[in-house]
Structure 1
């Protein structure tokens, strides 16, 4: 081939590469698997053949609708967001993040990236000392909650992305306003995960936003190694103590599914969940008489709401004083680490520290001690 023809082909290839690198990105561009979670079922990360941009797809971002999806394109290089705004997009790495759930705070903190959080929802309920310190110094603000979001403040914070959570569906009042303001968002479904390690694996999604995917995956590997080591120490021949969960709420006792997060932790710690009838994906209401009979058959009673003492527990119902776990002082609550306003670190940092939660539960079921991190024995 003549040199002039080679030059023309080279220029054409360069032009094609340049156009491809600066082209708009759409969902259909992301066809290659970048990260397939080992434990989580609610997200994946895919890439495109054209550049380093990636797509975080969230499946089942809230309870009750497994068909829903949320997406966030992480633009890299010269890639552009879809002009029609059909998909949320942000340029990576993100430097300024607003977290609407305390568990989102924990994801970034596990990566050593708490300083990238510039806004939170419900500051008084967040345990993280770095977040509280940055709030006092004015580096971080409370943006409100639900439909009471302070959009003026939110805009002034100049966030790269806001992480949302949904209870039963998308809050379009919020997302429509965020689109109007040009603030990218993503619904994070960590709380829907039933696997303890699945919840923790969402830290990889946070790491992806910060261009630290490998570090995120390595952090998760170390958490999983500790968790699986604790679980592997169980002796199959040992008896499994029976465990009761929760307390009544407005004259109704909700019992979680046998597949739920807490029940999996109990089973992995060597316990046996007392209520075996519920195999759905949600808690079910049990009448008080049946729940009382279950409590009477349990060796341990844990996660007893806001109770801080046996006196507070039995004040709910005098009959509780006769329950064997109460008599034997085998009642434990996951509120050892609380903020003055009642925020629970169990539902914050515990999300990314399932190995520590599991260690607590193993300690409790082995007879208990004061060395637990999230749990305390009610006295």
Structure 2
């Protein structure tokens, strides 16, 4: 996966640096409200700039705001630059980046996970097309699809170019996934913006990408307020869990395709588990992504784990019986025997759509399960002990 993402960013950087894309063809003489950029200058990039996220940066200029996108593995060299301006004209086109008129009015997202950012900023009307709509559980989104205000242009990771072009979007937001074909979009003259929120290793780093969306949609003040609230709640919960004397041992993942897939020790999931007052059994691992291990390796280390965390996609309620049917050896694990397997079913929850902006709720779910004497009033939203 890492090599695929690295190749994506490498290819994207070559194309982005070789093209100067004109997003809006309107001349400088056209009348246009300056409210969005006035908000830019009033706020200042020092406030908007990410505190934890490493995949983007925002810098103020004299008449523009510069949004830079980075590969988290290389935060010195941006893969793309976007100059955010009130109106595009000959006097403010930049040879080293893409000039983009903001606030963006027409956007296509090739990943449904980005919709929560627009929803939180009350800017869903800017979305005109999406791929992977079948994974979205938001009622507001489904209503706009039913009314024809949002068009489905393909499934997650694949899109119908002709249908997308008919929507005439100002920008197309993509996830830097291996195999994501963005060249046809740039060849067609579209502005493509990579959103690498899922590559952030800290839960708050992922949530902080709402500031990037705020810069694009003219809602920076709201984006800053939302993130500050999330950060405050998360750190408060983290402090509560830090004071607990017992840190239960946690196993994660299960077998797929002959290998046990589980989060690396420096991953987003590992950070959440640590902040929830748990001891993730692979916390000594330096990998920031996922691990693929043989069953015996996991069995030897994870057999006595107090809890077992699972993320599944199931049309039915996921149970111990279903888990055991996949591999009878699962019954030997202590967490299975003690009925301490926690599960999030992404089929019936909005984990992939809203979890990005709700790390504090994910953290509260974990704390409520690992430390039942804490957070008595919390109602778990994503993770539950398996029935």
Tell whether the structures are fold-level matches, with TM greater than 0.5. yes
Greater Rg by CA: 1
Aligned to 1:13: none
Structure 1 residue 73: deviation in Å? 2.2
**Structure 2 length-normalised TM:** 0.80
Deviation at 1:78, TM superposition (A): 5.4
Report the alpha carbon displacement of residue 110 of structure 1 after superposing the two structures with TM. 1.6
Aligned match of 2:369: 364
Task: Give the structure 2 partner of residue 74 of structure 1.
Answer: 84
Match of 2:66 in 1: 55
Question: 1:280: Cα distance to partner?
Answer: 2.6
CA change 1:146–1:353 in 2 (3 A) is closer
d(CA) in 2 for partners of 1:203 and 1:249?
A: 33
Residue aligning to 1:156: 166
TM-score (norm 1): 0.82
Structure 2 counterparts to residues 1-379 of structure 1, below 5 A: 33-34=45-46, 35-49=48-62, 51=63, 53-60=64-71, 69-77=79-87, 79-80=89-90, 87-145=97-155, 148-168=158-178, 171=180, 173-175=181-183, 177-236=184-243, 238-306=245-313, 308-335=318-345, 338=347, 345-367=350-372, 371-379=379-387
Change (3 A) 1:64 1:124: farther
Structure 1 CA distance, aligned partners of 2:124 and 2:206?
18
Segment drifting more, 299-308 vs 264-273: 299-308
Q: Distance in 2 between matches of 1:166 and 1:66?
A: 18
Q: CA–CA distance in 1 between the matches of 2:290 and 2:274? A: 17
Deviation of the 1:88 alpha carbon: 2.9
Q: Gaps spanning 5+ residues in structure 2: where? A: 1-27, 30-43
Where 2:272 maps in the other structure, the secondary structure is helix
Distance 1:84 1:55, change over 3 A: closer
Return closer, same or farther for 1:194/1:33 CA change in 2, 3 Å cut-off: same
Query: How much has 1:367 moved relative to structure 2?
Result: 3.7
- What secondary structure, in the 3-state scheme, does the structure 2 residue paired with 1:303 have? strand
Q: Which residue pairs with 1:3 in the alignment?
A: none
Distance in 2 of aligned mates of 1:67 and 1:86: 13
SS at match of 1:360: helix
Shift in Å, 1:68: 5.9
Contact kept? 2:52, 2:205, Cα under 8 Å = yes
- SS of corresponding position for 2:99: strand
